[in-house]
A and B are shown apart, each in its own frame.
Chain A
């Protein structure tokens, strides 16, 4: 349902994405791992359209989206979270989620009716806040929110888009062990209809939630397989897992 075919990206002389191809099945849970600088986030940027590919083709729901803008891809159901929190900093948790829900429901053109009249948006925001563990923090301003909560909201915003495919960029980055466990449970509990591609460094999380793992190294795919196969691969152990 999300297919990349021969993606290439270079910044000057540096090739950051080298002939990357993969295909996600509907409902698949795929982890993208690799050392720092392997080009994982760049690959996300190519898939979501924040960066243009130099060569290659991206297909989403059997449609070529290679030339589409990031917002067009989002409207088609491709949601993402960011490695570094990217929230609406002047708003409360509720306002963040309502904004995302308003965008998802396509009412952005309405300029004559108060936003607060759309009670279903508030209901949806509450539902998502509960799902990501922010049910009690609805009216807290983002800037007053502890880092771990901000991280949860980061994922919540992506969920509020009602995505068909969800790209999560290191959702547990900087989280405490307890918060990591909660985030893992959250990802594991996402509806199976949702396709998930997640960049993650925490191997416990990766091996727990992924059906398939793609290992990226120096811009190209080093290995692809089930968690068992990845664990058994001498190459991956040498290059990435270290001597685990």
Chain B
């Protein structure tokens, strides 16, 4: 578990790196920044569940996908503005998470994992077959948010990358506020000792449901961004491997640290980009690298970096 001060320092560092990257990269770099920013939101929302509340979900992509599908359906089929569609999409993700969570949070350990996996697969299977939403072809022509009023055109990759980074910052701020609050404290307490929390009067299920719903909403937000980024959605967004990859990002980055998974998102996206350019066996390489990280830095990048900084500080003194 991370300290609030450690997370703030990490967040400041990441913000500087992100700004520097945004100022220095070229056209393709903006695509990567956007991809990283979106994955970071998705992974941080999963970290609230996995790292703080101790609820390992393998179906988090369902809410990501619902967000993406909702904005796509509302803009392409109903002709809504992207803004209203985004609001509705995030609300829809939260609502579905609330319904799923109402059942799932009563289950512990492996049963929770299996139920989230099953729900994720069910939503995926439905959208894969649903003609109304384009079936396995998906939907194209998603409208982007119109920021013309403030002179910004999101069709410009540079502008979209900045927009995605701001959304990541906002998501981090929301999550950081929550984990520092009394509610966040209870989330951690339940993770550490559910029985004791209950014996002290904690409404365990309600707290878990609150976290599950918020995580679903933010995953939905990430989904609306990816839909606007590629302007296209397909059932692939909800594949269980998408949930699995987010879980890998959280583990590599460091569970329960928020900024760790954000950094982990950058590592995974960049590694995928470089390795897949170099070899066809990039999935194998990524798998081996994941094993190496888990063995060498079992608590993730965040914890390893924090330990390194502590040691450096001692040496400097």
Mask for B185-204, Cβ within 8 A of A = 1, else 0? Answer: 11011001101111111111
The CA-CA distance from A182 to B181 in the complex, in Å, is: 35
Contact A71 B198, CB 8 Å, known A102-B186, A108-B186, A115-B182: yes
Q: Tell me if B's interface is mostly helix, strand, loop or mixed.
A: helix
A111–B201 CB distance below 8 A: no
Who on chain B is nearest to A86 by CB?
B196
**Highest count of chain A CB atoms <10 Å: which of B1, B180, B204, B210:** B180
Mask for A70-85, Cβ within 8 A of B = 1, else 0? Answer: 1110110001101000
CB proximity to A under 8 Å, residues B127-182: 177-178, 180-182
The CA-CA distance from A110 to B200 in the complex, in Å, is: 17
CB proximity to B under 8 Å, residues A69-110: 69-72, 74-75, 79-80, 82, 86-91, 95, 98-100, 102-104, 107-110
Q: How far is the CB of A90 from chain B (nearest CB, A)?
A: 5
- The yes or no answer to A177 lying at the interface (CB within 8 A) is no
CB proximity to A under 8 Å, residues B38-95: none
Mask for B267-279, Cβ within 8 A of A = 1, else 0? Answer: 0000000000000
Q: How far is the CB of B206 from chain A (nearest CB, A)?
A: 8
Q: How far is the CB of B227 from chain A (nearest CB, A)?
A: 28
The CA-CA distance from A98 to B189 in the complex, in Å, is: 11
B199–A102 CB distance below 8 A: no
Q: Which residues of B contact A90 (CB under 8 A)?
A: 1, 188, 192
- The yes or no answer to B207 lying at the interface (CB within 8 A) is yes
Interface size on A, residues (CB 8 A): 38
- The yes or no answer to B22 lying at the interface (CB within 8 A) is no
A71–B204 CB distance below 8 A: yes
B210–A111 CB distance below 8 A: yes
A103–B197 CB distance below 8 A: yes
A110–B202 CB distance below 8 A: no
Q: Which residues of A contact B196 (CB under 8 A)?
A: 82, 86-88, 157
A103–B181 CB distance below 8 A: no
- The yes or no answer to B282 lying at the interface (CB within 8 A) is no
B201–A87 CB distance below 8 A: no
B189–A99 CB distance below 8 A: yes
B201–A88 CB distance below 8 A: no
Q: Which residues of A contact B198 (CB under 8 A)?
A: 69-71, 74
Q: How far is the CB of B3 from chain A (nearest CB, A)?
A: 11
Please tell me which one of the listed residues B180, B193, B202 contacts residue A87 in the complex, with CB atoms under 8 A apart: B193
A108–B203 CB distance below 8 A: yes
Q: How far is the CB of A207 from chain B (nearest CB, A)?
A: 28
Who on chain B is nearest to A113 by CB?
B181
Q: Which residues of B contact A87 (CB under 8 A)?
A: 193, 196
Q: Which residues of B contact A71 (CB under 8 A)?
A: 198-204
B199–A70 CB distance below 8 A: yes
- The yes or no answer to B10 lying at the interface (CB within 8 A) is no
- The yes or no answer to B223 lying at the interface (CB within 8 A) is no
Known A-B contacts: A70-B199, A86-B193, A107-B182. Give 16 more (CB < 8 A): A50-B199, A71-B204, A86-B195, A87-B196, A88-B189, A91-B192, A99-B185, A103-B186, A108-B182, A108-B202, A111-B178, A113-B181, A114-B180, A115-B182, A157-B196, A157-B200
> What are 25 A-B pairs with beta-carbon distances under 8 A?
A50-B195, A71-B200, A74-B199, A86-B195, A88-B188, A88-B193, A88-B196, A89-B192, A95-B185, A99-B186, A100-B200, A102-B185, A102-B186, A104-B200, A108-B182, A108-B183, A108-B202, A109-B183, A111-B178, A111-B184, A114-B181, A115-B185, A116-B180, A160-B200, A161-B201
Residues of A with Cβ closer than 8 Å to B? 48, 50, 69-72, 74-75, 79-80, 82, 86-91, 95, 98-100, 102-104, 107-116, 118, 157, 160-161
